[in-house]
Amino acid sequence: MAEIVLERLQRPPIAEQKFEIVERKGLGHPDSICDAVMEEIARAINGEYQKRFGEILHNNIDKGLLVAGRVSRRLGGGRVLRPMELVIGDRATSRVGKVRIPIKEIATEAAGEWFRKSLRHVNPDRHLKYRVVLAQGSEELTDIFRRETAVREANDTSAAVGYAPLSETEQMILWVERYLNSPTFKAAFPETGEDVKVMGVRADRSLNLTVAMPLLCQAISSEAAYFRKKEEIVQALRRALPPSPSLDNVSVTLNALDREGRGLGGMYLSLLGTSAEDADSGQVGRGNRVNGVIPLNRPVSAEAAAGKNPMSHTGKIYNVLSHRMAEQIYQRVGGLVEVYVWLVGQIGQSIDQPWAAVQLLPAAGAEFEVLGRGARQVIDQELTRMPEFCVELAEGRYPVC
């Protein structure tokens, strides 16, 4: 098994530090759209490889750009003037011998299906254009998939870090976005779009939540109606917030750029429910980490996980696996306040042989040596089941955004 470096953390846990900053970009945010759509495309292409050839071939569908369109909005309605454009890259095997795989068709069909099931007011046939720029990979990288190895070799040198558990602030930010995009909330407030962004700033025991969420212009008849509905939403969110064992105060601000008396310039309105309609483009890797948040106080992986190959790309595999390992250590070993797991893979090295480090923050009275032995055992077990983990990753059992 891989060498594992153990370190005892001396700093206070996140929850006891003076401040904490956590962000989440929700379902309809342009960056989140890119991550989710590229992952959906990758799964569809990998599924086609498995159906035709019984295995996943070389591909990395991890370079995506959603170019904002243009709309005309008014109180009570609006129209799309220029559709959004989705640029789909980077590499995919499109031919094996004389067999052609319809990569472009699979990619656009998978993308369109994601938009249809995820964003209520986006019609991908009318509101979206596609530019597919997937090409064959290089000889050396594609050769990885022709080598007779029990476990694939890494196709990149990259590092990742995962941690457990989530802090209360991180859990709260996750909860708020998921609540605002839940079927229950949308049924109660159908006037709201899916482009939800939540920024949480905790100072000591007070948490300030800044939420951005557009209201649909076709459902708003006047400026007064907009601000009445906005206040209803804020009050509903405040009532729904889960009880907090460590926070004395949670404040909520919705659509902070709004200004009464400025007409359309003072209201966050949307026609399609996403700012990608005309205000903000999106890109893979700019959204949430694989545990669903953007935690500014934590070490995070630089690699984007979405769309990467689940069998050989350590930028995806170790991103997800490091968080899984940290969670497993925290749950199974016990006696821990925080766990951080670091994994580094070298290109050409078997993916089950990373360089690994574990940082442990013991609970009071816990013996570090005992905790260390437990952590090593968990990591060894997880690396032993690497082939199974990669299959699970390919099947979409682990979220990546």
Domain count, the chain: 1
Under a CB-based contact definition with an 8 Å cutoff, are residues 36 and 291 in contact?
Answer: no
Q: Which domain holds residue 248?
A: 167-277
Q: Is residue 215 part of a domain?
A: yes
Domain with residue 181: its CATH number is: 3.30.300.340
Q: Which residues contact 249 (CB under 8 A, 6 or more apart)?
A: 205, 206, 207
Q: Show the 3-state SS of the chain.
A: CCCEEEEECCCCCHHHCCEEEEEEECCCCHHHHHHHHHHHHHHHHHHHHHHHHCCCCCEEEEEEEEECCEEEEECCEEEEEECEEEEEEEEECCEECCEECCHHHHHHHHHHHHHHHHCCCCCHHHHEEEEECCECCCHHHHHHHHCCCCCCECCCCEEEEEEECCCHHHHHHHHHHHHHCCHHHHHHCCCECCCCEEEEEEECCEEEEEEECCEEHHHCCCHHHHHHHHHHHHHHHHHHCCCCCCCCEEEEEECCCCCCCCHHHHCCEECCCCHHHCCCCEECCCCCCCCCCEECCCCCCCCCCCCCCCCCCHHHHHHHHHHHHHHHHHHHHCCEEEEEEEEEECCCCECCCCEEEEEEEECCCCCHHHHHHHHHHHHHHHHHCHHHHHHHHHCCCCCCC
Distances (CA, A) of 212 to 180, 215, 253, 258, 271: 11, 10, 8, 10, 15
- Whether residue 29 is contained in a domain is answered as no
The token pair at 42 is: 């990758």
Residue 208 located in a structural domain: yes
Tens-binned pLDDT, residue by residue, of the chain (401 aa): 457 999 999 999 999 999 999 999 999 999 999 999 999 999 999 999 999 999 999 999 999 999 999 999 999 999 999 999 999 999 999 999 999 999 999 999 999 999 999 999 999 999 999 999 999 888 888 888 888 888 999 999 999 999 999 999 999 999 999 999 999 999 999 999 999 999 999 999 999 999 999 999 999 999 999 999 999 999 999 999 999 888 999 999 999 999 999 999 999 999 999 999 999 999 999 999 999 999 999 999 989 999 999 999 999 999 999 999 999 999 999 999 999 999 999 999 999 999 999 999 999 999 999 999 999 999 999 999 999 999 999 999 999 98
| 181 domain-assigned | yes
For residue 83, what are its two tokens?
């559709």
